[in-house]
Amino acid sequence: MPHYFYMTALKVRSGNKCPLLSVVDDDESIRESVPGLIEEFGYAARAFSSAEEFLSSGAIDETSCLILDIAMPGMSGPELHLELKRRGEEVPVIFITGQKDEAIRTRVLEQGAAGFLLKPFSDTALLAAIKTALQAT
């Protein structure tokens, strides 16, 4: 019952359209598992293997929240976040990383990230971060 209520609340809040959460991570296992989990939460999800793929996809305008890896080949997660801000895109970002580095965490949160999760993270931690990010918009 709570799952149904939650999905209904999301649809009402977003005008009967589930919010799209985009996952950008070079790790194939993350791109395969996290979108499925997001969909179980009642959201739509798309996965991208790089910042460049996300930028060229046309999904920016549809994305309600971006779940973004810190370290990727090419453009890093923080670089993508700054590029989106430079373009005037106000999409909330939840950073995910396998590197426990307090300096990076502090920097991205100071630059406006909505959340920061250390891999591996729990489904409840991800859901809480998503709710916080979407409420901030």
**Separation between Cα atoms, residue 114 and residue 137, nearest integer Å:** 10
Q: At 24, is the pLDDT very low, low, confident or very high (cuts 50, 70, 90)?
A: very high
CATH number of 2-135: 3.40.50.2300
Give pLDDT tens digits for 94-106. 999 999 999 999 9
Write the DSSP string, 87-104: TT----EEEEES---HHH
For residue 31, pLDDT over 80 is answered with: yes
Task: Name the β-bridge partners of 24.
Answer: 48, 68
| pTM metric for this prediction | 0.87
46-89 pLDDT tens trace: 999 999 999 999 999 999 999 999 999 999 999 999 999 999 99
